[in-house]
Structure 1
Amino acid sequence: MRYPGYRGALAASVAICGVAAATPAAAQTRSFNVPAQAAATAIPELARQADVQILVSESAARDKRTNAVKGRLTADQAVRRLIAGTGLRIASSDGRTYTLANAAAQAAPGKDGQAAAHEGDAADGQQIAEIVVTGTNIRGSAPAGSPLIRYDAEEMRRTGAGSVDDFLRKVPQNFSVLDTSTYIGGIASGTMAAANFTRGAAVSLRGLGPEGTLALINGQRLAPAGLQSAYADISVIPMTAVERIEILGDGASAIYGSDAIGGVVNFILQQKLNGGITSLRYGAATRGGGEEIRASQAVGVTDDRGRLMIAYEFFDQNHIEASQRGFVTQRQGRRVDLTPDRQRHSILVSSAYHLTPTTEVSFDGLYSRRTYRQIYYSQSLPEQVDDSGQAATTQASLGVAQQLGDWRARLNGTYSGSTVRRLMVQPSFTTPTNGFIRYKYLDFAVDGPLATLPGGPLLLSIGTSYRKEEYRPTDGRTIGMTLARKVESAFAELRVPVIGPENELPFARSINLSAALRHDRYSGIGNTTNPKLGVEWNVNDWLRLRGSYARSFRAPLLFNLSPALQSAFTYDFADPASPTGFTNTLVDSSSYNPDLRPERSRSFTLGFDVQPAGRYGPRLSVTYFDVDFRDRITTPPLRASLFLAYSQLDSLRSFMNFAPSQADLASYFASPFFVDIAGRGPGDVKVIFDFRPQNLKSQVSRGLDIEGSYAMPLGRGTLTADANINYMLDLKVQATPDMAVTSLLDQLGGPLSFRARGGLTWSNDDVVASLKLNHARGYRNITIVPNEQVSAYTTADLHLSWKIAETTVSLDVDNLFDRKPPVVHTNIPGAYNLGFDAVNASARGRYVALGLTHRW
């Protein structure tokens, strides 16, 4: 048996992998035009035209020439016509993924064709590599019934984004509560932005919070970042290293465990880079400030035995001062930075190597270091604050996969850690703050076919995992202490093809079911078991119906269990019921709450996809989602600002003690974590407000995700009109059984009920021209009396690129018409009145970037 050497040739263990959108395509009639040619080029092209995945080993396709395929055919007909008489055969198909093998590999007695295909490939000296798909542990299979959105690298570039966080900020399903523009002058704009001391970026799907959206790199957890360990910092990932981003829009605790409540964002790294990608980008705001430089380099080599990709990215950003934006309200003569100075270095490695024809080892590694500095004025003291620090992220994942006939076993170990250092310098005092969060985990799983059903192979995945989490905070007032917990898990997943290509019916081209179950045991917390069910029904060649049901959970952050993280202060809060108009209130703002229980949720999605045949024409995807939380872990349901608490007693009264004891007050005043801003001692305090994270009774999130497009030929290219809409029907919370239900939608610094992005794109092989509109609906500002209407905010983005040989030049203009953010008047004591909503609008203004990318 000959095993090819490491030659650097254009071939991988999966030499041909046509990857397209996850819409069911096997039964759709499409127009095909694939000339007769070498199998190595014909199979990926047919996969692209058919919107399916086709897997075949390099050795099986070597020296084979396929037939021409022209005319209107189903994907199944097209694949069969392409390989007729070539010595290749369809070893397995689930309607989305076709696995091809040598026709000589026949099924052994008592085994199905898929098993024989694996054996034939192994005997030929090759291993079919794993296709990473978000939301499932079963190879080469999308999660049945779940709403899965994919964006490839080209789609990301066409938005004009220079980084993965820039791109995700443009996705309507992501509520950007936490990025570089939401920590302004020391005031967090939005509930979770207070966690963002080191100026990172996170994803918050459908406004459910960064802590409820799980971020993965190649399917492996990215450790939480920030002093509160409350979010995964996606800004550390080099964009040139990303092959695609997959967004799963439903609960996935049955697959991944804790934190996958709002959904999952998985960054799939480059798998087939052979050569290099050099990218340079410079941008600046036309109103001044915000200059950015990005430089990245990715190199890769791929051949018969394995692959290796190394990517480096450098990022440097200058701050924007409030004085550079005439519409920003500011304190006269005092410097307030709207955005920080930031500098970041990131390096990422992704590799895989076949030790034997059936054994593969893989390694993914990431290191990133970011520094920042931001100057503003303290809200409690009339002093300038020089706020600086650094954050480092390290992740390393080592895996071994072993083919066992038609089954595969995989063992993966991952280390992921985040270190934070912060220094706040004021004339009166200096505050150093440090901390780290570290994850170590080990996963083992096997998957393969159990049996062959009339609709296709019955697939099973079972496994177990072990994770250890550690968190240690330290600052100038406390001695650091390490908190740790262990998580032991067992999981199983089943995919059942009820109807497939071999037994399709007139109104059921295919029906697939999926079921998953996961049991987790948390030290110090307890046990939890979470199921997930999904169904996918391809009615005909253009309509698919789908639905999913899942139960999920999220354990309290280790940050919330640290006694060192206590804080409290007094302040004269505006109180309309007080004779003086103010009430001296002691606020317990600690992150520490030892009584927290895990939060739990039930999620339900129902949707359909319409995609008529042909390359051109309409496409529509609609998903209804419903997420119902119990014991939701969050701070009391405050609207707009803490300083407006007394105007919201209908939802906050249960968290206020209107007759505090002198013993309780004395305990607070004696604490090293306490600051008496009011300055009148314990005898003048009238109320204690418990603003720690709590287990609220319930929270409900309901809404619609709508994606649509229409493509048509125009001149020498294709014109596409598209739209992506997130429409929230409800986002409401009830803190306790006796408290009123509070809506969190359409509030200052909160999620909006309607966000959309859409426009026109014309493209061919060399030129891309795109104009997109971003729209956020208006809302009422309740921070002033009488309330005011905040206008809707619509901006336009322009993207132009021209490919010359292997070099692409691009021009991107965000906020093309330099729209100012809507005016928001505020009258909140102790807070910056910026004059705009930093979460739902941007002070950057028109931003122009010139990019240069060369492939070699």
Structure 2
Amino acid sequence: MMKETAIARSVRLVCAIGLGLAAQTAFAQASEPAMQRVEVTGSSIKRLVSETANPLTVFKAEDFVKQGLTTAQEVLDRIPSNSSSFSSGNVVGGNSSGLPTGGQSSADLRGLGSDKTLVLLNGRRIANHPYDGASVDLNIIPVSALERVEVLRDGASAIYGTDAIGGVINFITKRSVQATTVTAEVLLPRAAGADEKRVNISSGFGDLDKDGYNFFGVFDYHKLDILTSQQREFSKTGVIPERGLNLTSGTTYPGNYFDPGSNKTGNPGFATGCDQPFSVPRASNGTCRQDYTRLIDDLPAQKQMAFFGKASFKINNDHQANIEYLHAENDVLSHTAPPPQTGLILPKSSKYYPGNPGGGVPAQAGLSGQPLSVNWRPTEAGQREINSLGASDRLSIGAEGLAGGWDYKTAFTLSESRSSEWFTGGYVRDESFAAGVFNGILNPFGKQDATGKAYLDSVALRGKVQTGKTRNTGIDAKASRDLMELAGGKMAVAVGGELRREEADFFVNRDIAGQAASSGLSGSQSTAGSRTVKAIFGELNMPLLKDLEVNFATRFDDYSDAGNTTNPKLGVRYQPTKEVLLRGSASTGFRAPTLFEKNAPASKNDTNNSYNDPILCPGGVISSNPIANPLRDCDLQQFKLQSGNANLSPEKSKTFSAGIVIEPIPQATLAMDYWNIKLKDKINYLPEEAIYGNYAKYKDRFLRNPDGSPFAISDPKENLGKVNTDGVDVSLTLRSGSTAYGSITFTLDGTYVHKYEYQDERDGPYTQNVGRYAANNPVFRWKHNAVLNWRQGAWAATLAQSFKTGYTDQNLDIPAQFLNEVPSYSLWNLSATYTGIKGLTLTGGVKNLLDKEPPFSNQGTLFQKGYDPRYTDAVGRALYLRGSYTF
């Protein structure tokens, strides 16, 4: 009898998955004898999908197409166990460290950090984004080439590698294509901004079984138009007095001054109302404050291009070879407010000194005649504009098949991720700009004359400011087979190994970066690093009884720069009756510091929020110290000195899960899985809020210049302490079966977080994060995605809801009467699909059906104000249209 190849078995996985969520993967019609053994995420042993003891969520491509989900980040936002959603909007103003992100989007299972979520493409690694070296940029995932997404909601360090602490996300592409499909889709918001367009074409030829080969490729182009803060009411301003919100900057147009001779602060434009609405008066000291939110993007303009190709060759009935190639590009153009320039010196000799003839600047009472210290934001220079260009390439050459009774799979993989940042508008050369003020050429209090305009143009700063590259080169191999017969079936074993070389190179153009303090890059330095990772692993599956299965796996990893570790995992599956399945697992994890975390040099960047210097402006009141300067020391972004740390210890974790799946009737399945994760020696920067919030404890971190003026807070990467979190995942599926009115399926996939607590330092107090904004984000108590599908003949319809509970807001420096509770938030999407014409599929629908605006938030972590762009939809109601033709 002819043996069936491994790839043929794998193709049958689609049939095994059923309706696509975790509950179905638990049972997946285990009673059907025709079911083939396949490999699923979370195990190296080929088995029936129903046999797995791991909680697995499967999201089929056709399902997220119906919901109008156009990017990998959007798809993962519908997975409740994914706690954070970092999209292209987070490129605006940089990350929480003030550094550009390169437009990166990332996933974060269980809220443990994107660096503890392992992202795979067809079961193998992708090079991490070069700017943090810790997580994959989801923008490079070829969505149009996907067959499904499998999310393992459990630690898998024993199978895939030590960093799979929070779980594994495996993007799986189509196995083969033998036709040509052309697809176009558009997203048209009700309000202006954020239009989306996508076109893609896939084509393939050759039947692997008949012809011995199959070639296919997918090309995809996706474009998102800019959405500015002024195009939505909820994001127009950072000044909302009725909500206690006043997130503004003391570096403004017209400029504020401080006279060290008389200790007087003021602004010549204060009397005429500053430059409203862009800057507003502050009556307490006669200055102006910049409402910088008015001049930023909610969503930057973005263009994405991806090509994925695969060639498969049948060597004989037992062996085949394949080649995969991915190339992706991500082009993001983001805008923030014009460049703030601080500590400028305006001498009495300048015609723009208040009251001097010829300058047009009104006199100010109480000036001493000494040079003024000025903070000024030159709006005539335009918005700061950064063009982030990212690109990724991944080549995999592999073979798989049957040899000596073993199912084997091996491949050589080369993966590279690159990113670069270009200043394309707004930025100025700090030294030349300051000289223009000192020499009386530039007017910090009003519009420029012809000479000033020409000089401002001459100090414009343009060009490539930084580039980064990470590269993974590796070879992996694994094999599995059945062994002896046990009471419940065949014992099976899998063994494998991996050799991987990781390289990172980060280059900063000091000629440009050193002249742009407002970029957060002025103190950045170039760095590089590399390491080798070796691993061997084994897995044993033992069906001890007919209804009891035990799975044991262990993996040994050796890092050339972080030592070695052995991580076991034990899984148990028990099905006492046809209607009830019990499952559980326990495992350990180990995440070595990334090359960036170990090797990054010290860089001086802006703090994310505004603060008062605890010595020179305690409690927001300027001190009598002669060096105190309210324009520098009070209610202003300060500086932090951040770096890697060669002495970092690895993060270690323990994970436990236990679940039950109940199927009382074929039409209903309920799954509940409890999970518990304990992490120690978490690697991160100490939150800046913690440092400024407890000066007595962290006073040694406040670095000062020789004269006592603030230089920066010291905030290197370090092992902070422990994280403890637990909760329950719930999956419910109801199926009507075929009726006269069609078939209806309802699924609900939810995550309840019981506890999330963390320490800012070893043996320190725990901070509770569930249902409240702590450090840089909230942790939602409950999230779910509910979907109602209907199908009859050529017609189908989908109604989907995503829901998040409310939480206590950040409330940083918010008066007691304005403390905010962010309410719960839900989005509804509705779509219909028609397939009644051969080869043609038409889908139309409405995203954000109820036109739900983001709820108010006083968070100050991100540049967008008035709402939190990470967890909400800024676009609003939008029409979604998609057409696909196959021939």
TM range (shorter): 0.7 to 0.9
Is contact 1:18-1:52 (8 Å) kept? no
Worse-matched range after superposition: 289-298 or 325-334: 325-334
CA shift for structure 1 position 738: 4.7
1:494: how far off? 0.8
**1:535 partnered with 2:572:** yes
What is the aligned-residue identity percentage? 24
Kindly indicate whether residue 649 of structure 2 is the aligned counterpart of residue 597 of structure 1.
yes
1:279 shift after superposition: 1.3
Q: Deviations over 1:705-734 (max 9, x none)?
A: 111122225533112232221111111101
**Matched letter for residue 608 of structure 1:** I
Question: C-alpha separation between the residues in 2 aligned to 1:480 and 1:314?
Answer: 33
> In 1, distance between residues paired with 2:870 and 2:25?
39
2:208 to 303, 309, 316: 303
- The equivalent position to 1:160 in structure 2, one of 49, 62, 68, is 68
Tell me if 1:75 matches 2:24: no
Cα deviation for residue 306 of structure 1 reads 3.5
Alignment-derived partner of residue 791 in structure 2? 763
Residue 585 of structure 2 corresponds to residue 548 of structure 1: yes
Counterparts of residues 372-387 of structure 1 (less than 5 Å): 372-377=332-337, 380-381=340-341, 382=377, 384-387=383-386
Distance across 2 between alignment mates of 1:404 and 1:441: 23
Q: CA deviation at 1:575?
A: 6.9
Partner in structure 2 of residue 231 of structure 1: 135
1:75, distance to aligned residue in structure 2 (A)? 2.8
How many angstroms apart in 2 are the aligned matches of 1:719 and 1:296? Answer: 30
Q: 1:494 aligns with which of 528, 540, 546?
A: 540
The verdict on how the C-alpha distance between 1:414 and 1:195 changes in structure 2, with shifts beyond 3 A counting, is farther
Deviation at 1:171, TM superposition (A): 2.1
Does the CA contact (< 8 Å) of 1:144 and 1:513 recur in 2?
Answer: no
> Per-residue deviation at 1:444?
2.1
The aligned counterpart of 2:769 is 744
CA RMSD of aligned residues (A): 3.2
Partner Cα distance (2:650, 2:799) in 1 = 44
2:516 paired residue number: none
Q: Name the CA distance, whole Å, in 1 between partners of 2:663 and 2:414.
A: 42
Partner-residue secondary structure (3-state), 2:235: coil
Residues 330 and 336, structure 1, Cα contact 8 Å, conserved in 2 = no
Structure 2 CA distance for aligned equivalents of residues 629 and 158 of structure 1: 38
Distance 1:631 1:587, change over 3 A: farther
Q: CA deviation at 1:596?
A: 1.3
* More off after superposition, 298-307 vs 804-813: 298-307
Matched, 1:705 2:700: no
2-side partners of 1:563 and 1:187: how far apart?
17
Report the AA paired with residue 618 of structure 2: S
Instruction: Check if 1:525 corresponds to 2:562.
Output: yes
**Distance in 2, Cα, partners of 1:420 & 1:442:** 25
Select the structure of larger CA radius of gyration: 2
Tell me, yes or no, if the aligned pair for 2:529 and 2:595 is still in contact at 8 Å. Answer: yes
The equivalent residue for 1:316 is 223
Equivalence map 1:795-810=2 (5 Å): 795-805=827-837, 806-810=839-843
2:398 & 2:322 partners in 1: Cα distance? Answer: 5
Q: 2:12 aligns with which of 14, 17, 36?
A: 17
- 1:775 aligns with one of 769, 783, 803: 803
- Measured after TM superposition, the shift of residue 629 of structure 1 is 0.2
Which amino acid is 2:141 matched to?
I
Match of 2:81 among 169, 173, 180: 173
Partner of 1:110: none
Deviation at 1:380, TM superposition (A): 4.7
Matching of residue 357 in structure 1 with residue 317 in structure 2: yes
* 2:405 corresponds to 1:406: yes
CA contact (8 A) 1:213 1:259 kept: yes
> 1:557: Cα distance to partner?
1.4
Partner residue, 1:391? 390
Change (3 A) 1:427 1:479: closer
Partner of 1:426: 426
- Over 3 Å counting, the alpha-carbon distance change for 1:706 and 1:48 in structure 2 is closer
Q: Are residues 569 and 154 of structure 1, via their aligned partners in 2, closer, same or farther at CA, if it must alter by over 3 Å?
A: closer
**CA positional deviation for 1:366:** 0.4
| Preserved contact between residue 479 and residue 494 of structure 2 (Cα < 8 Å) | yes
Structure 2: 5+ residue runs without aligned partners? 239-276, 279-293, 342-376, 430-460, 511-523, 623-632
Distance verdict in 2 for CA 1:627–1:765, change over 3 Å: farther
Provide the secondary structure at the position in 2 that maps to 1:316: strand
TM-superposed CA distance for 1:252, in Å, is 0.9
Q: Bigger shift: 380-389 or 288-297?
A: 380-389
Matched with 2:713 is 689
Give how far 1:222 is off.
1.1
Aligned counterparts of 2:583 and 2:18: Cα–Cα separation in 1: 11
How far is 1:24 from its partner? Answer: 14
| Structure 1 residues 24-56: Cα deviation after superposition (integer angstroms, max 9, x where no partner) | 99xx9xxxxxxxxxxxxxxxxxx9999358xxx
Q: What residue number does 1:734 align with?
A: 759
Which of 161, 164, 180 is residue 257 of structure 1 equivalent to?
Answer: 161
The answer for the alignment partner of 1:327 in structure 2 is: 234
Aligned pair 1:824/2:857, yes or no? yes
Residue 675 of structure 1: aligned partner: none
Residues 3, 794 of structure 1: CA spacing in aligned structure 2 closer, same or farther, 3 A cutoff? Answer: closer
Structure 2 equivalent of residue 43 of structure 1: none
Q: CA deviation at 1:224?
A: 0.5
Secondary structure of the 1:327 match is helix
Q: Is the 8 A contact 2:525 2:602 kept in 1?
A: no
Query: How much has 1:253 moved relative to structure 2?
Result: 1.0
Q: Which residue of 1 aligns with 2:28?
A: 51
| Distance across 2 between alignment mates of 1:759 and 1:572 | 42
**Structure 2 residue aligned with 1:515, among 548, 552, 571?**
552
Secondary structure, counterpart of 2:879 in structure 1: strand
Q: Deviations over 1:548-600 (max 9, x none)?
A: 10101111111122244522568972378926547689754424222211101
In the aligned structure 1, how far is the partner of 2:797 from the partner of 2:701? 65
Following superposition, the deviation at residue 468 of structure 1 comes to: 0.5
1:469-508 aligned within 5 A: 469-477=502-510, 480-500=526-546
In the aligned structure 1, how far is the partner of 2:825 from the partner of 2:10? 47
**1:423–1:299: structure 2 CA closer, same or farther, 3 Å change rule?**
same
TM-score (norm 2): 0.75
1:166 CA displacement: 2.1
Q: For residues 721 and 580 of structure 1, do their structure 2 counterparts lie closer, same or farther at Cα, with a shift above 3 Å needed?
A: closer
**TM-score normalised by L of structure 1:** 0.78
Q: 1:653 to 1:592 in 2, by over 3 A?
A: farther
1:198 to 102, 105, 111: 102
1:852 alignment counterpart: 883
Q: Is 1:578 aligned to residue 618 of structure 2? A: yes
Determine helix, strand or coil for the equivalent of 1:288: coil
Q: Could you tell which deviates more after superposition, 373-382 or 13-22?
A: 13-22
What's the CA shift for 1:824? 2.0
Aligned to 1:717: 742
Q: Distance in 2 between matches of 1:573 and 1:15?
A: 57
Shift of 1:700: 0.9
Match of 1:126 in 2: none
Q: Deviations over 1:505-539 (max 9, x none)?
A: xxxxx221111111111112111111111011112
1:368 and 2:328 matched:
yes
Provide the aligned length of Structure 1 versus Structure 2.
717
Kept in 1, the 8 Å contact 2:721–2:763? The answer is: no
Contact 1:322 1:335 in 2 (8 A): yes
Contact 2:10 2:39 in 1 (8 A): no
Q: Of the candidates 836, 842, 848, which is equivalent to residue 867 of structure 2?
A: 836
Could you say if the C-alpha distance between residues 619 and 589 of structure 1 is closer, same or farther in structure 2, counting changes exceeding 3 Å?
farther
Q: Which amino acid counterpart does residue 699 of structure 1 have in structure 2?
A: V
Q: Does 1:338 align with 2:363?
A: no
- Answer yes or no: is the 8 Å Cα contact 1:771–1:799 preserved in 2: yes
